[in-house]
Amino acid sequence: MMMKTDRSGSNLSAPARSNGEGPKVLRAGFIPLVDASVLIAAAEFGFAAKEGLTLDLVKDVSWANVRDRLAFRQFDVAHMLSPMPVASMLGLGSNPSPTVTPFSLGRGGNAITLSTRLFERMREVGGISETAGALENAKALASVLEAMRERGEALPMFGVTYPFSSHNYEFRYWLAAGGIDPDRDVKLVVVPPPMTSDALAAGAIDGFCVGAPWNMVASERGVGRIVAAKQDIWPSAPEKVLAMRPEWAESHPETVSRLIVALDAAARWCDRAENHDALAEVLAGPRFIAAPVDIIRHVLSGAFNLDAKGNRRVIADYFTFHRGFANYPRPSHALWLYSQMIRWGQIEFSEQGLRSAAEAYRPDLYRAALGIGPTEPDVGIEGDRSGDRFMDGHVFDPSNMMDYVRDFAVRSSPAARSDRQDV
Amino acid sequence: MPAPDLTILVIDENAIRASIIEEGLREAGHSKVTIIHEVQGVARIIETLKPDVIVIDIENPNRDMMEHLFQLTRTVSRPIAMFVDRSDTALIEAAMDAGVSAYVVDGLKKERVKAILDMAVSRFNAFSRLQRELAEAKSALEERKVIERAKGILMKMRGLSEEDAFALLRQTAMNEKKKMSDIAQSVVTAAGLLM
């Protein structure tokens, strides 16, 4: 089962030494989502034990808790939204405490789901087919919103998970690509992921962007229609990361290295389709996600039921846990997240901000542990390669941050509002 | 507490615990206390109430919604920071352990907030203790009930006196190194299958 290139074997052969870094039991906070798979697999399938570590996984109920418990040392490490370390290094949020990531927990997993009622209106007003793409869907929604405005209907409410989340930025990216101003044309609210499907069914919200398995839970119940996946918006978009306090990383270098080696082996294992049954079985249990195992199995294979009517779509890399350096904490990604924070008015651009944002990602720790990394420079152009483009065709050049942000027709500065046409 | 009165908002899904906190705040001389049990409509409440201190239980998944609110400057006019004094980590850790978190308007004197948070922490802890004791009392009651039933079954089926039935249960439990209530439960289950 293990591949030749597996590194965990070579690391295992190194003598286990006592290094005065304290007990090797690490308390790790996580939120029950499929994108915590690498962390869960490391604990449950022996990858942490191989490195002499015990991962004590603690399920939490909110990202704010995860952040605070990491900051106040109740957790050693945590499953976090990729924008959270960036926000904390920029001093954003209600309890900003220095947080870094040496390891990304993979790519993919998010999707945008709208209520079936709203999607029916998009088909009527926007004239789209059942199999329309993400951009067509966004444009159709823009037409529906225009019709709603004319008739004086209330703005639709859309749920995201956290102000500093990939979901917030991806939902906004998708809306804006269709010509919709997320701060003016719709109302964005925060809904805890396990409640999204119920909130949609009850009509409390009209759509949401969350991680797996909650999109498919809603579509299989027949209350929601998946209209875009993370891959449609930007395939390389950062998702969850393993977060830690920088001072803890400094004082526990050996533990950090071992943890990265364990997670790397777990990620490689998670990527292999033949392990998905075992992984799904564990994830579905009450200690973790507590959701139907068959839905989690479908999610892992990227085989989507877009709705309850039998429309299906297979997204080949819906989850990438390891391939193509999916775990490498690329500072360009931190800077892209910073660009979206600027775009939506969460912070102003500054040279210091540029440095702080990049410091949230620590490829040096990844390379020190694994001795490998991608050949491209850590900070470079994003979205210019075929197969990895942004849905609106923009290309991110981190050395030209403000031009990149200004180029978006829809963004939250007043200047942008005055020069754009209502759709 | 010296004037002016602080406006305090308590968000707790557990109505009993919320009322315990409310009582503590009133005892400490706070009269401007609002309690809500769910976060629906909290944005409007915060807007009109303009609380100086928000106390929220951390098992509430809607904390992330609060974070979102605080990001929208137009909803909450004044900046709200978690814990007024980050240097007091002992208090903060005690709060996290107890399961309570607080949001505090920047610039508020730390002694005033500390008193509120200390009180919330001790009441949260007292509540957990109460719940634990209640659970223990409940399970003790259940155990006594099942032992009574097992005794009755043994008396009826084997013609034992109450005293002997009890002695048999206790002896079996000792021999099997099990709790008497477990043996009693087995008797009840077996009797259910046999009769």
Task: Name the strand (E) or helix (H) holding A59.
Answer: strand A54-59
Structural domain B137-194, CATH architecture: Orthogonal Bundle (1.10)
Contact B17, B126 (CB under 8 A): no
- Residue in this structure with the two tokens 């909650």, named with its chain if needed: A214
In percent, the amount of chain A with pLDDT more than 70 equals: 92
Contact call for A62 and B64, based on CB within 8 A: yes
Instruction: Give the 3-state secondary structure of residue A348.
Output: coil
Nearest-CA distance from B146 to chain A in Å?
29
B62·A192 Cβ contact <8 A = yes
Average pLDDT over residues A36-40: 98
Counting every residue written for chain A, the total comes to 423
- Using an 8 Å CB-CB cutoff, list chain A residues near B70: 94
d(CA B7, CA B2): 13
Which residues of chain B neighbour A66 with C-beta distances below 8 Å?
none
For tokens 């709208």, the residue is A114
- How far is A164 from chain B, CA to nearest CA, in Å? 9
How does residue A10 score in pLDDT terms, banded at 50, 70 and 90?
A: very low
Q: What is the pLDDT of residue A4?
A: 41
pLDDT in tens, B59-85: 888 888 888 887 765 444 555 666 555
Q: In A98-156, where do the E strands start and end?
A: 100-104, 107-108, 110-115
- Virtual torsion, Cα A389, A392, A398, A402, nearest 10 deg: 180
ipTM, two decimals = 0.80
Contacts of B60 in chain A (CB under 8 A): 61-62
Return the number of other C-beta atoms located less than 10 Å from residue A403's C-beta: 9
For residue A420, what pLDDT is reported?
34
pLDDT of residue A422: 32
pLDDT at B81: 60
What was the pLDDT predicted at A228? Answer: 96
CB A183 within 8 A of CB B71: no
Q: Tell me what the mean pLDDT of segment B124-145 comes to.
A: 87
Where are the domains positioned within chain B?
8-132, 137-194
In the numeric block, the tokens 């978009």 are attached to A237
Average pLDDT over residues A344-370: 97
Q: What is the pLDDT of residues B48-58, one digit of tens each?
A: 888 888 888 88
* Cβ count near A214 (within 10 Å): 31
pLDDT score recorded for residue A251: 96
pLDDT digits (tens, 9 = 90+) for B4-57: 788 999 998 888 888 888 999 999 889 999 999 887 778 788 888 888 888 888
Q: How confident is the model at residue A23 (pLDDT cuts 50, 70, 90)?
A: low
Tens digit of each residue's pLDDT (9 = 90 or more) over A216-226: 999 989 999 99
A-chain residues within 8 Å CB-CB of B39?
A: none
Q: Is there a contact between A94 and B81 if contact means CB atoms under 8 Å apart?
A: yes
Q: What is the pLDDT of residue A6?
A: 41
Predicted local confidence at residue A7, as pLDDT: 41
pLDDT digits over A242-284, tens only?
999 999 999 999 999 999 999 999 999 999 999 999 999 999 9
Please say whether the beta carbons of A276 and A129 come within 8 A.
Answer: no
pLDDT of residue B115: 84
SS3 A1: coil
Instruction: Check whether A99 has a pLDDT greater than 90.
Output: yes
Nearest C-alpha neighbor of B10 from the set B33, B29, B28, B30: B33
Element (H, E) at A359: helix A351-359
CATH fold, domain B8-132, is: Rossmann fold (3.40.50)
- The per-residue pLDDT of chain B, averaged, comes to 84
The partner residue sitting opposite A93, judged by closest CB among B58, B67, B101, is B67
**Edge-to-edge strand list for the sheet holding A54-59:** A54-59, A25-30, A77-81, A240-244, A100-104
pTM above threshold 0.90: no
Please list every residue in chain B whose beta carbon sits closer than 8 Å to the beta carbon of residue A162.
64, 67-68
Find the Cα–Cα–Cα–Cα dihedral A163, A56, A293, A239, rounded to 10°: 30
Count A/B contacts: CB-CB distance under 8 Å: 69
DSSP A361: B
Beta-carbon separation of B60 and A68 below 8 A: no
Residue B171: what pLDDT?
Answer: 94
Query: Do A163 and B67 lie within an 8 Å CB cutoff?
Result: yes
Written as one letter, the residue type at A192 is P
User: Which of A40, A55, A51 is CA-nearest to residue A10?
Assistant: A51
The amino acid at B36? I
Percentage above 90 pLDDT, chain A: 83
* pLDDT of the residue at A94: 82
pLDDT recorded at residue B169: 94
Question: How many angstroms separate the CA atoms of A369 and A350, rounded?
Answer: 32
**B118 or A156, greater pLDDT:** A156
**Minimum Cα–Cα distance from A72: chain B residue:** B93
CA distance readout (Å), A305 to A135, A162, A227, A231, B104: 19, 26, 11, 16, 45
Q: Which of A63, A73, A74 sits opposite B64 (nearest CB)?
A: A63
Contacts of B80 in chain A (CB under 8 A): 94
Residue A156: other Cβ atoms inside 10 A: 18
A166 CB neighbours in chain B (<8 A) are none
pLDDT over 50 (residue A12):
no
Distance from CA of B104 to the nearest CA of A (A): 10
Mean pLDDT of chain A: 91
Question: What percent of chain B lies above the pLDDT cut of 70?
Answer: 89
- Tell me the domains of chain A and their CATH numbers: 8-107+238-302+318-370 (3.40.190.10), 110-236 (3.40.190.10)
Q: What pLDDT is attached to residue B85?
A: 59
Please indicate whether residue B93 or residue A188 has the higher confidence score (pLDDT). Answer: A188
The alpha carbon of residue B70 is apart from the nearest alpha carbon of chain A, in Å, by 8
Buried b (16+ CB within 10 A) or exposed e, A299-323: bbbbebbbbeeeeeeebebbbbbbe
Residue B26 sits at φ, ψ, to 5 deg, of -65, -40
DSSP three-state, residue A222: coil
Interface test with A, best of B53, B71, B92 (most A CBs within 10 A): B71
Instruction: Read off the pLDDT band of A155 (50, 70, 90).
Output: very high
Extract the runs of DSSP E, i.e. beta strands, from A119-233: 157-160, 187-190, 207-211, 224-229
Q: Are B21 and B95 in contact (CB under 8 A)?
A: no
Residues A194/A243, Cβ–Cβ less than 8 Å: no
Chain B residues within 8 A (CB-CB) of chain A?
58-68, 70-71, 80-83, 89, 92-93, 96-97, 101, 103
3 state SS for A62-104:
CHHHHHHHHHCCCCCEEEEECHHHHHHHCCCCCCCCCCEEEEE
Q: Tell me what the mean pLDDT of segment B86-109 comes to.
A: 79
Burial B31-60 (b: 16+ CB within 10 A, else e): eebbbbeebeebbebbeebebbbbbbbbeb
Which tens digits make up the pLDDT trace of A43-95? Answer: 999 999 999 999 999 999 999 999 999 998 999 999 999 999 999 999 998 88
Sequence-ordered list of residues with C-beta below 8 angstroms from that of A45, at least 6 positions apart, any chain: A266, A269, A278, A282
3-state secondary structure chain B: CCCCCCCEEEECCCHHHHHHHHHHHHHCCCCCEEEECCCCCHHHHHHHHCCCEEEEECCCCCHHHHHHHHHCCCCCCCCEEECCCCCCHHHHHHHHHHCEEEEEECCCCHHHHHHHHHHHHHHHHHHHHHHHHHHHHHHHHHHHHHHHHHHHHHHHHHCCCHHHHHHHHHHHHHHHCCCHHHHHHHHHHHHHHHC
With CA atoms as reference, report the closest residue to A211 among A119, A299, A340, A334.
A299
